[in-house]
Structure 1
Amino acid sequence: MADRYGNDVLAGDWRKPKNGRTVEVEIAKGMVVEEPSSGFVGAIVRWEHGVVDLEDRHGNIRTYPLGPGFWLDGKPVSLQPPKKAGPAKKTRTASGSVAVDNVRAKVARASRIYVEGRHDAELVEKVWGDDLRIEGVVVEYLEGVDDLVEIVNRFQPGPGRRLGVLVDHLVEGSKESKIAAQVNNRYVLVVGHPFIDIWEAVKPSSVGIKTWPKIPRGQDWKKGVLQSFGWPATDQADVAAAWKHILSKVNSFADLDPALLGRVEELIDFATLD
């Protein structure tokens, strides 16, 4: 008599995934892997700063974070950098630009990029520092943009002396947008990102959180974030320690929101125009 119910679903080791558990694999140039969420299959061509570049048979290249989420020979794997071999030769900067070896930093241009605060400057330096030194562009911070018009006038922008400004929370109707609208000079470019603070430009997944919390208007944003996470939030030393932790999680452009990436690249291009 035929078995109406088929095989016993509890037969065998039901705790073992059908395709096996994820195992760590040391990557090697030429290794072919699949990123299943996108279906992209490619050979490993380079890796650094916590990301890996895959090239498919058509020559298309995509960049993914190292770690779990890949398939190798039909099995789930977590891609890890080689342990025995020395570090791979740096071929890209943290911003994703092609790295240039044996090139000295240029003498600083007269053009500048201004950002709102120290944390903004430190984040830009960590990701775009190599690019900025090669281009000879210096980044300075303002401690806010309330006096932006006066700051621009003091800078005296002109030919060969451009000024790019990165503004936090530059959204329609914000105080920052009204201040930025007062700047009218062809040698000044004011751009911004939608985040209340530069901390939010770091992807939550990179920091190990689900999302950045919503802090009520009128409350100190940074301290509100610390309190929501249960971190110490008594004074500025606590804020500085929290930022140091957050910044340590940023290894490359892959850890930042695209809304910030595009704006910084735009400013670098503007500041390096002749």
Structure 2
Amino acid sequence: MTMTWEESGWEGLAPRAGRCRLPGWDCTVGLVAGEGSALLIDAGSSLREGARLRTEARRLLGGARVTHLALTHPHFDHVFGAAAFAGVEVFGAVGLDGVLTHDREELRADAVRNGLDPGEAAEAADILVPPRHHVSGEWTLDLGGGLQVLLANVGPGHTAHDLAVLVPGSPEVVFCGDLVEESGEPQAGPDAVPSHWPAALDRLLDLGGEGALYVPGHGAVVDAAFVRAQRGTLARRFGVS
């Protein structure tokens, strides 16, 4: 990396991991820089936003490009920018490709309902990029320079296809997608699986442990105590243990 996270306007989480919070829906996008490879976690809500992220990532990476993209779940604010990253290796939880292929109209309509410009929503939906690599359990991704990132299918919960990303180090960093939210109450839409959501948070806690930084899909970085408290809140809300 040729510039610091702070110089770029991103939030540094570890020497080789950072994130930005996008305007509009306060959606988190993560970047993990290896040696010769780089992983982006989620891609923003539109092609315009994805192009902005591509430019910022290249500047952070000293002219290198993003080589891998992990999509944490199939909601427009996390996936509609993916087509801006042509040629990258795209990862998602098993079944995510089916949603992005067959439910494009619903994703477009949901984006418009939530305030995305109809033209931008239609453009992004038309060229949605489904994952090539389908994570059913855990997948170790070697980014070079001794950095191995773990992709884990921890759902269902917030959706039927929730993927988390563990970046090892001191501290360890866990990108949670919308399984964890800090800036508001976790959203349980029609595609949520409430009966399994607390168990998904248990898996997140097992992945990261007590000392990890947990990066929610929306909001400030939290600790294990916050995730555990949110797990309890969701269990009570949905009447599950």
Q: TM-score, normalising length from structure 1?
A: 0.22
- Higher helix fraction (1 or 2): 2
Name which one, 1 or 2, has greater alpha-carbon Rg.
1
